[in-house]
């Protein structure tokens, strides 16, 4: 089964943080999918590390190259944009996060996230709860 992963999971593959071992295990054992925005969101996360001086620019650039080589089945964001927009309105949560959930719904699988707020919002709905999971 393919599992949808969001950028919060992808960052854990290259930056040691809480949940990194579980994220790496997921990477090693499962076919992964994500909307095309995942790499842009992950790059933005690396930029934040640079801005907080937790990573140097050359190191962050190397980590971004590593992320670009990860085998993820990428889906065009446009394929799920309408459903993501509806979910965003219903959940009062950003469209870019809802793209991961919309992709999981379309592929009849689940999305894995470290975003506790998003997870909590989606899990409150019985029609969505089986389509999103916490990393740990």
Contacts of range 98-103, beta carbons closer than 8 Å, 24 or more positions apart: 99/35, 99/37, 100/4, 100/5, 100/6, 100/34, 100/35, 100/38, 101/4, 101/128, 101/131, 101/132, 103/4, 103/33, 103/34, 103/35, 103/75, 103/79
Structural domain boundaries in the chain = 2-134
pLDDT tens digits for range 70-129: 999 999 999 999 999 999 999 999 999 999 999 999 999 999 999 999 999 999 999 998
Residue 112 tokens, joined? 């894995």
Q: What is the pLDDT of residues 15-63, one digit of tens each?
A: 999 999 999 999 988 899 999 999 999 999 999 999 999 999 999 999 9
- For the whole model, what pTM was predicted? 0.94
Q: Which fold has domain 2-134?
A: Rossmann fold (3.40.50)
């Amino acid at each position: 089964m393919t599992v949808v992963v969001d950028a919060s999971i992808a960052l854990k593959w290259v930056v040691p943080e809480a949940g990194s071992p579980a994220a790496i295990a997921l990477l090693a054992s499962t076919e992964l999918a994500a909307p095309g925005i995942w790499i842009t969101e992950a790059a933005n996360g690396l930029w934040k590390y640079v801005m907080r001086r937790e990573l140097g620019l050359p190191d962050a650039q190397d980590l971004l190259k590593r992320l670009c080589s990860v085998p993820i089945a990428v889906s065009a964001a446009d394929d799920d944009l309408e459903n993501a927009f509806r979910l965003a309105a219903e959940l009062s949560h950003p469209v870019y996060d809802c793209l991961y959930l919309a992709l999981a719904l379309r592929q009849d699988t689940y999305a894995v996230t470290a975003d506790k707020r998003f997870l909590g919002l989606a899990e409150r709905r019985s029609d969505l709860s089986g389509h999103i999971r916490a990393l740990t």
